[in-house]
Amino acid sequence: MPYAETPRSSVTWRSSGLSDSFPTNCFFNQLKFYSEEFRKCSLFNLWLGPLPVVVLYHPDSVEVILSSSKHIEKSYLYDFLHPWLGTGLLTSTGDKWRSRRKMITPTFHFAILNDFLEVMNEQGSILVKKLEKHVDKEPFDVFLDITLCALDIICETAMGKNVGAQKNKNSDYVSAIYRMSDLIQQRQKSPWLWPDLLYMLFKEGREHKRNLKILHNFTDRVIAEKAAELENTKQKKHDNDGNCEENVSKKRKAFLDMLLSATDDEGNKLSYRDIREEVDTFMFEGHDTTAAAMNWVLYLLGHNPEVQKKVHKELDEVFDNTERPVTTDDLKQLRYLECVVKEALRLFPSVPMFARTLREDCCISGYQIPKGATVLVLTYALHRDPEIFPDPEEFRPERFFSENSKGRHPYAYVPFSAGPRNCIGQRFAQMEEKTLLALILRHFWVESCQKPEELRIAGELILRPTNGIWIKLKRRPNAGSE
């Protein structure tokens, strides 16, 4: 065999996670094991049900795929996102993807992202008040609290709609988002659920249909309201001969506002269906990933008090024990916190793996991979290459100091993917993570209450701890005093 091939029977994806005897993170654990077993091979082959997959975890191998403008098609497993997300920026390919990416990129301009900082501060303040109740109390699971905050932020920035998830986690829309993500993950790792006709015969398929209706109805309603609001604003501007433009410009805009006005090179606007695809994609991609990253930062800081002290020192230098909101200038000064976030994403990348389908034959590490093959980039293992990150399991934010990053392989660290199909929202995510962590850590000292083996990490759509993130909070001396 030309490269390492695992025993087919031991790696075939055989479970939906419904059986206690076959835990949901079993496949991910197998990937971790074989990536270490075949570390020097740089790639290996396995089977996901009937689907052959080549797994990559060496920077040189990963670069071949991610740097290419040809290998941009997502794998078959992403098809299960289509009922919810359609073929938006995450799932589309070819000319549609290129056109949509070009059209949407301006909405992520840094000047526009800065307007969203107000939302992040507002929702972060609600989160801090919720966390206050846990100070000097028993350990608690912080994972959901942070996730609901991230969901509130993406709802308001993507749609301009405040769903109040932090205050009402049981709303139909909030519940549908979480259930839909679970159903998609379950279907991806259950080959017998792949055919659409068979899927609808299972209760999971019928539940998928119910939640899909809730999600699409909500998004459709918000888009219709925004479109009517935009038309009303135009009419008012026309009636007042432009005199109300100043008041209109002060209104906080969401991604949806910009999508309604976006045009392609020919001046064509997005259809309602196109807009729904992108808004739903923002909702799907824009909260779970950032929430996971922030949770992992708190877990790691709670286990590394010396690092946490350095973060607090930097925060005190920037904010001087005040309770003022975080500004863009503050974010630029929080360089050590940025290194902490980067190191947390190295150890626990929010997206632990992602897959592409090759549209032509490809040579990787000297081996010919045929057209049509599925290639899986195992980010989790890539970030643990001991040749690039010595003592890879150690939490060392200093790895990302500029002097220590110089000369590092550009594809050795890809928490937001890389190349032409990198994550369009990475600056938004970094801004949100630094802002919320700054708000939390200005107020509290964090202690982690779990050993690494107690986390039971599940590598699914998002890298998450099966048992949550359990911490204790203590109030920092003089935190918040004016």
For 158, the token pair is 């993507």
* Mean pLDDT, the chain cut into blocks of 10 residues (482 residues total): 45 32 63 90 86 93 94 90 92 89 81 86 96 96 95 92 86 88 89 94 96 95 89 71 52 84 81 91 89 97 97 96 92 97 98 93 92 94 96 97 95 95 92 97 97 88 91 80 38
User: At 116, which CATH number?
Assistant: 1.10.630.10
Do 202 and 71 share a structural domain? yes
Q: Which domain holds residue 12?
A: 1-50
Do 25 and 115 share a structural domain? no
Whether 425 is in a domain gets the answer yes
Query: Which residues in 328-348 are b (16+ Cβ under 10 Å) and which e?
Result: eebbeebebbbbbbbbbbbbb
For 48, other C-beta atoms within 10 Å of its C-beta total 21
Nearest by Cα to 297 from 200, 430, 191, 197: 430
Do 1 and 96 share a structural domain? no
Which pLDDT score is estimated for 265?
74
Nearest by Cα to 337 from 363, 361, 359, 309: 309
Whether 40 is in a domain gets the answer yes
Do 254 and 141 share a structural domain? yes
Do 197 and 165 share a structural domain? yes
Query: Rg of the Cα trace of the chain?
Result: 23
Whether 308 is in a domain gets the answer yes
Do 45 and 65 share a structural domain? no
- Angle 426-443/143-159 helices, nearest 10 degrees? 130
Whether 480 is in a domain gets the answer no
How many structural domains are present in the chain?
2
Do 306 and 180 share a structural domain? yes
Whether 481 is in a domain gets the answer no
Do 244 and 195 share a structural domain? yes
Do 141 and 36 share a structural domain? no
Do 319 and 258 share a structural domain? yes
